[in-house]
Structure formats: C-alpha cells, structure tokens
Structure 1
Amino acid sequence: MTMKYNKRLFTGYDKKLKSRADELRKNMTQQEWNLWYFYLRNHRLKWYRQRIIDRFIVDFYCHAAKLVIEIDGKQHYTDQGIVYDTERTQVLQGYGLKVLRYTNQQVVDNFQDVCWDIERNLQQ
C-alpha cells in the first residue's frame, strides 16, 4: 500500500532523533566530511548536515532548493537497505523534496562530478 503525503515542506521533526543527529554530525564519514568541508559548508545556499525530516535523518539538506543529498555506504545496497531507502525517498518526495543519492565511492573517485551534478540539480 502506497501512502500519500501532502506536497508541503516538513518543518517539524521527531525530537527523539536529536541526540542521534548530533552524534552523526560529530562523527561524519570521510565522504560526508569531504562534501561538507570542501563544498557545501561555504556554498552560496544554506545547507544543513544530519538534518531531521519527519522520522529520518538526512545527510544534507537545503531548504531553499528543497534538496536532500544522501551519501550511501555498503549498508544501503542490502535487500533491507534498498527497501528502507525506497520508503524514505517516497516520504521525502511527498514533502516536495528532491533526493540525490551518491555512493561513497562516487564521492571518493569523482568528487568534482558529484559537485557538478549537485549544481545542475540546483539550477533546475
């Protein structure tokens, strides 16, 4: 059964996730760290890292662009990870957000291409 969500921007969050989001912010993966410090932190648009939206913590979020960026490690490619990410993406899209996904390896091997792809999506 597919759930429908209002196309609105979610402004609240699950307070129970705050300590986990704080922990993730302090312990970013190397790929998240690189994307944050070498690109998003000083971007012309305001970005948030490890942001709570609904019942999820997204890696990066830009309110102005309604854009979410996820950097995926191996756990995202298990059967369970694929099902979870599919549901998560549907929920986020239900709020009118666009979700971009990159693998850890893409960030390592093609950092500039990842940044260009983000910029292309910001222009749309």
Structure 2
Amino acid sequence: MKLHNRKSLKQRRKELRNNATPAEVQLWSALKKRQLAGRKFRRQHSIGPYIVDFYCPGERLAVELDGASHDDPLRSEYDAERQTYLEAKDIRVIRFENKQVFEDPDGVLTYIKKQFDE
C-alpha cells in the first residue's frame, strides 16, 4: 500500500493548503523553493493515514505547527499517536507553536536547519 500522498487524502490535503493558518503561510514562504539550505519541502503532505504540515523528503523530517486546538487533551492524544506512527516509519517530527513562527522566525528556521544531516 502506498505510504506517501495517498489518493484518498488528496482532497483533504488540498483543503488544508487552501485554508492554511497565518503561521503556516509565513513558514511556507521561508521553506518553499528550496530556500532553506537547498532542501525541498512539501506542505500538507500525507504519510500513511496522517497529513503533516510540512515534510522534507530528503531529510525524512516532518515539521508541525500547533495552534490553540492542540491544547485539547483529545487532540494531544491524536498528535502523540501520529508522532509514534511517523517515528515508526523513520520520520523525525519537530513541533513549533504558531506564536514561535511570528515571534522568532529566525530561531524556528535555525532549529529546522539543525535537524538536517549535513
């Protein structure tokens, strides 16, 4: 069975891209077109049954942005389940709160770069 970008999730990925949060829009503007250390990123990329905010296939790195909805206990449980699944597929997951993208964008990008295998 296909692991990445399953057709069954295509419409949902498109909806998420078209309704991106302001933090996703800002981070995407810094990640797209190989602007960060020449690495290719995809946004709203599905891996198995889950969709991650950003994915760098060359580094097997998922970047997730968390807003207020992630404070909900049920959402936290879902996030933990998803992270366990992704890590089992040898994909590293890093998370940032939306406010970090606005308050310290350079720090966010520096931290993402530190995850790259040089």
Q: Shared fold by TM > 0.5?
A: yes
TM-score, with normalisation over the residues of structure 2? 0.90
Residue 109 of structure 1 corresponds to 103
Q: Which moved more, 1:59-68 or 1:25-34?
A: 25-34
TM superposition shift of 1:14? 3.8
- The SS at the match of 1:82 is helix
Distance 1:42 1:14, change over 3 A: closer
1:72 aligns with 2:38: no
Does residue 27 (structure 1) correspond to residue 41 (structure 2)? The answer is no
**C-alpha contact 2:5 2:45 (8 A) present in aligned 1:** no
Structure 2 counterpart of 1:15:
7
1:16 shift after superposition: 2.2
> Which residue does 2:45 correspond to in 1?
51
Q: How far is 1:13 from its partner? A: 4.3
* Deviation, structure 1 residue 123: 3.9
Q: Which runs of 5 or more structure 2 residues have no equivalent in the other structure?
A: none
TM normalised by structure 1 equals 0.86
Identify the residue that residue 112 of structure 2 maps to in structure 1: 118
Please list every run of 5 or more consecutive structure 1 residues that lacks an aligned counterpart in the other structure. Answer: 1-9
Q: Kindly tell me the number of residue pairs found equivalent between the two proteins.
A: 114
Determine what percentage of the aligned residue pairs are the same residue: 35
Q: Which residue of 2 aligns with 1:4?
A: none
> Corresponding residue for 1:5?
none
RMSD of aligned Cα (Å): 1.4
